[in-house]
Chain A
Amino acid sequence: MKKAILSGNEAIARGFIEAGGKLAAAYPGTPSTEVLETLSCEEGIHAEWSVNEKVALEVAIGGALSGVRSLACMKHVGVNVAADPLMTASYTGVNAGLVLFAADDPGMFSSQNEQDTRHFARLGKMPCIEPSDSAEAKEYIKAAFDLSESFDTPVILRTTTRISHCKSVVEVGIAEPRAGRGLARDFGKYVMLPNNAKKRHVFVEDRLLRLKEWAETSPLNQVIDGDTSLGFITSGISFQYVREAFPKAAVLKLGMTFPLPEKLIRKFASSVTKLAVVEELDPFLEEQIKAMGITIHLGKNVLPLAGEFSQRLVQEKISGSALKVNEPVSGLLVRPPTFCPGCSHRGLYTVLSKLKLYVSGDIGCYTLGALPPFSAMHTCICMGASISAAHGTAKGLALQGTQQKPVAVIGDSTFLHSGITGLINMIYNNGDAIVIIMNNDTTGMTGGQEHAGTGRSAKGTEAPRLDIAKLCQAIGVTRVREIDAYNIKDLEKTMKEELAAPGPSVLISNQPCVLRYRVSKKAYVVEKETCKGCKLCLKAGCIALSFTPEGKTGFVEIDPLLCNGCGVCSQLCTSGAMKNS
């Protein structure tokens, strides 16, 4: 068999192919995105970017009912969006296998919260499976489909960032041929009217008991013999940290973290003198094990609830003694993320910042407008919240006697994901806010995926292109205007007009993402002798700019290797020192 280095996500995609999977639907979200990206290159598989995670899961449910193994992929917060179909899919069960892949983000490398997806498995009374490296990721998704079909249940395959985005050695196998099962029709099973659902709930409770029994002897749960003076129960990436920090210790590695094998856990616990439970985020295993009446000596009493672990952290916290530290170099400047040179968001935020408007934000690259030097975003909650929250804010302010138009900023992909409903709501409820849709023709933050507005499918083939302006008009917005986010003067004028106009408006910027579309314009240069050192251009907040405090006034320079020639800084220059001809 061929060996390859695959990320956990690539391995999951590979495992799906080997398991004879046929249909995959996802909405992009770090750290989950690469599963669908990998599958989109695969012939014989329908891989799609759905408009949001709820839709993706429903598409996968439909696929499973039609008779093909189906997968829905999303990040942890996406499961919140998909929770509605997920809870009832547990009742209906499946026909062909159905797996929900959810990637959690301990340490929040690129997320708005640190929630623990395993709770959804418990809430929905369905199995949760957690691989600890790429090789397991590939095998576990196959096991997840087998489990789904033999127990008639959706299965959650849960990873964390360090599983999804770490690469390790995988033996690539062959795809097993798998005939479709054909469409399932069963009124009592698939139509969740109360009378049917009542019966299915009983089935779900019984299924959970049978799953518990299966877990006792499942190869997914393994005991690694070793020193029993301190034994560990762990799963996922924490298993690797435990093995690294305590290589000789006895370990019960749980590949299935819900439901738990009580007898196996009891036996392991009684075989060790002291028991440690090591898991990132919530004490999900710990609380269930404690509820069995088993004593846990070391767990969340020493390990943190927030952030990700490392072998060093596990060693220090469990042993209770600090390891030798090399102090980091002190006083180093921090380097927060920022807009790419040439990004159209820069022009928009230059204006929003100047006008000191209240901005209701959303999830995407444009969330970076909340950071200095712009500091021009005042809330960011979840996908699609910008418009609905702006509407609520305007109403709330009006109730307090303040007439102020909030601004909502949302990207194209996020607007299609869940901004549309907020806009419909605002128009229907006589709202009054300015909605700015920054359409850069891609799903930017996650690396540039297609969506219903790009005119291309996940596979790169031509697809119907949704017209955002027309959609807004159809919703009932009377003031829909196109803006050029690079033209600061015009943008400021437009904003002032819309602030003065009664009623809501939608402003749409149509400028391609410079990263996704590799836009590269000629760099600007500063004429040192003309530059007055006034620093007005620095308000553009671009890393290509720097100020040198030499001579009488000092001067600005532009790094030719970083500048992308967007010209936003040059529009801020009042002395004409910035040239690109």
Chain B
Amino acid sequence: MKTFNILISGVGGQGVLLTSKVIAEAALLSGLDVKQSEVHGMAQRGGSVLSQVRFGEKVFSPIVSEGEANLLIGFEPLETARYLHFLKDDGVVIYNTRPIGTIGVSIAAEKYPADINETIKARAKTVMPFDGTQLAVTAGDKRTLNLVLLGAALKFLPLKESAVLDAIKNTVPKKVLEINQRAFAAGRAQGK
């Protein structure tokens, strides 16, 4: 298969890394070559974070270039908009509509863009916006947003559902597995 490129963006602390970890594991279980790139350190303190996953027959670079992404999974609207130019012409966007203000917004020095949803819609052919945070809270913990979004993204991933489900079992700590499986199911129902 041709290399499939995924970008996962959000705000430091939202749990972006787990989504990419599960996808990478699912690709490995599917017998594919996979590379995953992530950011640690200072950006994790509430900054803009980006994780990248690429899988296929043979993958060289671990990072996705502009115009190469098949799928963009956004944990927050502004952080989704920030990486839209990485999408292919037929790239898909799945994102959580619940905004998190920047520090500038919080001190009323700047305004969160009111038209952010329209901006995203205008830049991609297939866009799936929904309140993933609400689904995560309903599943039992706001931190399961990563599995909600993964569930919603499932039908756009060229991976078997069984591989993704096994990857979740291999990756998510036992203590919180059930709640994460619930969140994944809620996301998948949203994506259907």
Contacts and interface: CB of A to CB of B under 8 A. Distances in A.
Nearest to A535: B108
Given A244-B60, A338-B103, A539-B107, A329 B123 contact: yes
B100 A169 contact: no
Interface in A1-45: 3-5, 30-31, 33
B126 interface: no
A11 to B, nearest CB: 13
A335 B109 contact: no
A348 B84 CA distance: 38
Interface stretch (A47-55, A290-298, A367-375, A425-433): A367-375
Interface in B91-115: 100-110, 112-113
Contact of B47 (A241, A335, A515): A335
B84 A561 contact: no
Given A326-B85, A329-B85, A241 B101 contact: no
A510 interface: no
Q: Sort chain B's interface into a size bin.
A: 35 or more
Contacts of B108: 535, 538, 547
Contacts of B63: 162, 166, 310-311
Contacts, number: 184
A332 interface: yes
A559 to B, nearest CB: 8
A31 B41 contact: yes
Contacts of B59: 168
A338 to B, nearest CB: 4
Given A333-B78, A333-B113, A3 B43 contact: no
B106 to A, nearest CB: 5
A243 B42 contact: no
Nearest to B110: A333
Nearest to B98: A561
B112 A311 contact: no
Given A333-B105, A365-B45, A240 B40 contact: no
A373 B101 CA distance: 14
B73 interface: no
Contact of A332 (B78, B87, B109): B78
Contacts of B25: 5
A240 B42 CA distance: 26
Nearest to A538: B107
A30 B40 CA distance: 7
* B contact face: mostly helix, strand, loop, or mixed: mixed
Interface string A479-497: 0000000000000000000
Contacts of A270: none
B38 A312 contact: no
Given A162-B37, A335-B102, A340-B46, A240 B85 contact: no
Given A168-B35, A329-B85, A335 B79 contact: yes
Nearest to A311: B61
B107 A312 contact: no
Given A31-B41, A337-B47, A324 B67 contact: yes
Contact of B106 (A31, A332, A337, A543): A543
B139 interface: no
B82 A329 contact: yes
B28 interface: yes
Nearest to A337: B47
A333 B102 contact: yes
A580 to B, nearest CB: 18
Nearest to B123: A329
Interface string B4-37: 0000000111000000010011001000011111
B107 A373 contact: yes
A372 B133 CA distance: 28
A179 interface: no
Interface residues of A, number: 62
A543 B100 contact: yes
A240 B52 CA distance: 15
A310 B65 contact: yes
Given A166-B36, A167-B35, A244-B61, A542 B41 contact: no
B116 to A, nearest CB: 9
B78 A335 contact: yes
A328 B84 contact: yes
Interface string A92-110: 0000000000000000011
Nearest to B24: A5
A337 B85 contact: no
Nearest to A343: B45
Contacts of A168: 33-36, 59, 62
Contact of A133 (B28, B35, B79, B84): B35
A561 B133 contact: yes
Contact of A543 (B60, B86, B103, B119): B103
A544 B105 CA distance: 10
B33 to A, nearest CB: 6
Contacts of A87: none
B149 interface: no
Nearest to B87: A326
A167 B62 CA distance: 8
Contacts of A332: 78, 81-82, 113
A325 B89 CA distance: 11
A561 B75 CA distance: 14
A326 B113 contact: no
Given A5-B24, A169-B28, A332-B113, A325 B85 contact: yes
Contacts of B35: 133, 166-168
Interface in A221-267: 237, 240-241, 243-244, 247
B101 A329 contact: no
A445 interface: yes
A340 B78 CA distance: 19
Interface string A179-193: 000000000000000
Interface of B: 11-13, 21, 24-25, 28, 33-48, 59-63, 65-67, 78-79, 81-82, 84-87, 100-110, 112-113, 119, 123, 133, 137, 142
18 contacts: A109-B42, A165-B40, A166-B37, A167-B24, A168-B36, A168-B59, A311-B60, A332-B78, A337-B12, A365-B45, A371-B103, A372-B109, A445-B41, A541-B107, A543-B46, A544-B106, A545-B107, A546-B105
Interface of A: 3-5, 30-31, 33, 109-110, 133, 162, 165-169, 237, 240-241, 243-244, 247, 310-312, 323-329, 332-340, 365, 368, 371-373, 445-447, 515, 535, 538-539, 541-547, 559, 561-562
The 8 tightest CB contacts between A and B, nearest first, are A110-B41, A30-B41, A337-B47, A166-B62, A312-B65, A326-B85, A337-B45, A547-B108
Given A165-B38, A169-B33, A324-B67, 6 more contacts: A30-B41, A167-B24, A332-B113, A334-B48, A446-B41, A538-B108
